[in-house]
Amino acid sequence: MTNVANPAFTELVAPPAWRTVDLISDLHLQAGEPATFNAWKGYLETTPADALVILGDLFEVWVGDDAAAEPGFEAQCAELLRRTAERLPVFFMHGNRDFLVGPALAAQCDLTLLDDPTVLVLHGQRWLLSHGDILCLEDTEYLKFRAMVRTPEWQSAFLAHPLEERRALARAMRTQSEDRKRNPSTIWADVDTGAARQWLQQAQARTMVHGHTHRPAEHDLGNGLRRIVLSDWDAAAHPPRAQLLCLSAAGAQRVDLR
Ligand SMILES: [Mn+2]
């Protein structure tokens, strides 16, 4: 479990040969949205990056690694990840939708799972990476839920259900969250500025990069600190959204894929 007030700040130190690292998040891949899957596939097959870091919610839902062991959408995604990992290292941090991605999928696809948060050290610069949900401190209901579902006990009890039952449960939970989205009184929490500053100071980093909120922006946090928010993906939207953040010695650059 992450201690929010004082997390471990695991470091990922880039080898000197890495010139660029791509960050993506919140693709919410699902079988019913082939345009986003195809955009992602095209991206993976052509990116010139030296490493790829996925900052969570790659999948709309992940009900267990056994989902990728039978033919279907999850297996297709796993195969793409595996082929990409043959070409460049691929890192994966959990989001709130795909927190059940586990060691079996990591082994199947040659992914390296990252702690949330992780400090990427690239060309001497420290980038504080997180999915972002844990710092949305106003969302107390969600944080209670998060604390529960991240325990090994909850996860092993959930994974003990048959795959089809887990898929059905996930669909039911998704309907609930769609209802919440449609309710105009729903208030969407954002990353807490004080907590973000504190993390940056503790991590000795100047820039935090996260996803989760689907509100791409760059926030000046004062004292040279900033918070960069990644875009979500929806290739079927008008205009389509498929964006990455490319980190290099020159800094951070948003790249729209088209
Ligand atoms: Mn999320």
* pLDDT at position 239 over 60: yes
* pLDDT at position 5 over 90: no
144 CA distance to ligand 1 middle (Å): 15
236 CA distance to ligand 1 middle (Å): 20
Q: What is the per-residue pLDDT for 2?
A: 65
Percent of the chain with pLDDT over 70: 97
116 CA distance to ligand 1 middle (Å): 12
Which structural domain range is residue 200 located in?
A: 10-256
Q: What is the per-residue pLDDT for 1?
A: 54
29 CA distance to ligand 1 middle (Å): 12
- Any domain includes 1: no
In single-letter form, the type of residue at position 198 comes to Q
* pLDDT at position 203 over 60: yes
Question: What is the residue-averaged pLDDT of the chain?
Answer: 95
Residue 204 backbone zone (phi > 0: left; psi -120 to 50: alpha; other: beta):
left
16 CA distance to ligand 1 middle (Å): 31
> What confidence tens digit (pLDDT) does each residue in 80-139 have?
999 999 999 999 999 999 999 999 999 999 999 999 999 999 999 999 999 999 999 999
Distance from chain centroid for Cα 121:
18
Q: What is the per-residue pLDDT for 62?
A: 97
Q: What is the per-residue pLDDT for 175?
A: 84
- Any domain includes 4: no
Q: Are strands 51-54 and 21-24 parallel, antiparallel or unpaired?
A: parallel
- Any domain includes 124: yes
- Any domain includes 223: yes
Ramachandran angles phi, psi of 125, nearest 5° = -90, 145
Q: What is the per-residue pLDDT for 258?
A: 74
- Any domain includes 3: no
- Any domain includes 137: yes
What CATH number is given to the structural domain containing 75? 3.60.21.10
- Any domain includes 5: no
pLDDT band at 181 (very low <50, low <70, confident <90, very high): confident
- Any domain includes 75: yes
Q: Are 86 and 50 in contact (CB under 8 A)?
A: no
Number of domains in the chain: 1
17 CA distance to ligand 1 middle (Å): 31
> What confidence tens digit (pLDDT) does each residue in 51-76 have?
999 999 999 999 999 999 999 999 99
First to last CA, the chain: 38
* pLDDT at position 176 over 90: no
Q: Which residues neighbour 51 within 8 Å (Cβ) at sequence distance 6 or greater?
A: 14, 18, 21, 22, 88, 89, 90, 91
Closest CA to 132 of 53, 202, 213: 213
27 CA distance to ligand 1 middle (Å): 10
